[in-house]
Amino acid sequence: MRLSQYFLPTLKETPSEAQIASHRLMLRAGMVRQASAGIYSWLPLGLRVMKKIEQIVREEQNATGAQEVLMPTIQSADLWRQSARYDGYGKEMLRITDRHDREMLYGPTNEEQITEIFSGSVRSYKDLPLNLYHIQWKFRDEVRPRFGVMRGREFLMKDAYSFDIDAEQGRKAYNKMFVAYLRTYARLGLKAIPMQADTGPIGGDLSHEFIILADTGESEVFCHQDFLNRDVLAEEFDEESDLQPVVDSWTSIYAATDEQHDPARFESEVPADKRVSARGIEVGHIFFFGDKYSKPLGASVSTPEGGDVAVQMGSYGIGVSRLVGGIIEASHDDKGIIWPDSVAPFKVGLINLRAGDVACEAACEEIYAKLEKAGVETLYDDRDDRAGAKFARMDLIGLPWQLIVGPRGLKNGVVELKSRRTEERDEISIDEALSRLSAGQA
RNA sequence: CGGGGAGUAGCUCAGCCUGGUAGAGCACUACGUUCGGGACGUAGGGGCCGGAGGUUCGAAUCCUCUCUCCCCGACCA
């Protein structure tokens, strides 16, 4: 993509409403624009990142055997009356009426809807286990939206729903999601820590929330150092096996948010040099709640013995749009965003330091064409700005690699390849730069 | 939902107290000089001063009502 043609409205000054780093940086980098309190429009750069996160989430869900569906944002009030949550959910639910005065609502979550879909089509234990998910916008009328997309009212969420014949099978489904979540966050370049959680309004007796560490996190987190050193992507799992030992290995070590923190336990269970206290952001929450929804909504299947039994359900949420902010919170510096490779909107920013210079332009055009051909996502800064402005903008939007082409280097036959994260610069030939960027790692 | 604050140019803000031709910096347009870490000069364009009432000869400014946004707390993917 040529920057001269790309809609990237970056800001030099910070809009006054933005308090935390990710919000400031998202506005300054031209990723989003606020429409009203807690509601955002996504501009090209922001949308690219969100789509990448969404795709990683999707791949990890699919890998567990979950199947993607898409449910509507607008739901009927009647459905929610059946689960008795229409009155219970309170003012967070945005209620609307259509032209016939039918009571509708903008879905804050989809347990009722998925359960109805299930019960309308599934009759036998032979159709289980089943896990359906979708990635759809939700609306929760938060009292006080804040922190940009981290606590918006409208947000994009992946929610999965598992259906099983009994609690034992349900626990297996829960464990699969547990591990899939760990893998998802790891692929997003995040250290996520599972913590025992309250089940809140969704209910149930088994629940974990996933917290990523970031200095600006909302809650204080205490955990064992081992969490941070463990690489879940390096571990092999047999999806069909019982994952309980894996889950146990993650949940048996101390980890708690400040609400549930027990200093005495922390100190007795974790050696002093392994104690980590940090700030955290919740980016996912999983629940197993048995027949809480299947019973009132009549989601039952026939058993091998010929009887009828309400299915055991779980629900599993990841805040996709929140993760865009969360990743920035976990990965930025005073110059701007530092994207992990897996979600970077482009892999490399090609900077022509002297637009209009014949040699620079020819070199950039050649490099750009070759990178595009090699499938390397490239944002080519072909604008006629001064060098300083180009550097500042590229640092702000945080692409992992900057390939800097200037008259000074070209005279010696070299370009400069700079890592945004480490700030290491290598002066190398164009060919070497191309081969490094085209290979997996630069 | 309690408490505080703010709405004036795309952004950051001054002007308001004490009513009298709507301003600055950045951004934008043109030209020139510049050109490896957010340059400089000259000339421009851009505003129903959040909205509605009121007071007044005259309202961004004073009064009333209202809408919106932000911050702190209690609650949340």
Whether A328 and A363 map to the same domain: the answer is: no
- Closest nucleotide (CA of A395 to C1')? B37
Residues A65-118: tens digit of each pLDDT:
999 999 999 999 999 998 888 988 888 999 999 999 999 999 999 999 999 999
| Domain extent at residue A175 | 3-337
**What's the total number of domains in chain A?**
2
Q: List chain A residues with pLDDT less than 70.
A: 198-205, 440-442
Give the per-residue pLDDT at A263: 86
Residues A328 and A424 in one domain: no
Check residue A278 and give its pLDDT.
Answer: 86
pLDDT value for A134: 97
A36 shares its domain with A176? yes
Domain closes at, from A337, A362, A381: A337
Closest nucleotide to A159's CA, by C1' atom?
B77
- The integer distance in angstroms from the CA atom of A22 to the C1' atom of B35 is 32
Q: Which residues pair with A39 in a beta bridge?
A: A36
Residues paired with A194 in a beta bridge: A210
Q: What is the pLDDT of residues A16-30, one digit of tens each?
A: 888 889 999 999 999
A277 and A423, same domain (yes or no): no
Nucleotides, chain B, CB distance < 7 Å: 1-2, 11-13, 25-27, 34-39, 68-77
How much is the ipTM here? Answer: 0.93
Q: A60 with A135, same domain?
A: yes
| Residue where a domain terminates, one of A305, A337, A369 | A337
Task: Report CA(A146)–C1'(B74) in Å, whole number.
Answer: 15
**Can you give the pLDDT at residue A132?**
97
Give the domain-ending residue among A283, A303, A337.
A337
| Whether residue A328 is found in the same domain as residue A359 | no
Q: How far is the CA of A307 from the C1' of B10 (A)?
A: 67
pLDDT, residue A241, reads 79
Same domain, A38 and A15: yes
Give per-residue pLDDT as tens, A265-309: 888 889 989 998 888 899 999 999 999 889 988 899 999 999 999
Q: C1' nearest to CA of A356: which nucleotide? A: B35
Handedness of CA A168, A128, A194, A294 (dihedral sign): negative
pLDDT value of position A262: 84
Instruction: State whether A192 and A301 are in the same domain.
Output: yes
Which nucleotide is the nearest neighbour of A336, by CA and C1'?
B38
Instruction: Judge if A147 and A126 occupy the same domain.
Output: yes
> Residue closest to B76, CA→C1'?
A142
CA A393 to C1' B47, in angstroms, rounded, equals: 30
Distance A16 CA to B63 C1' (A): 30
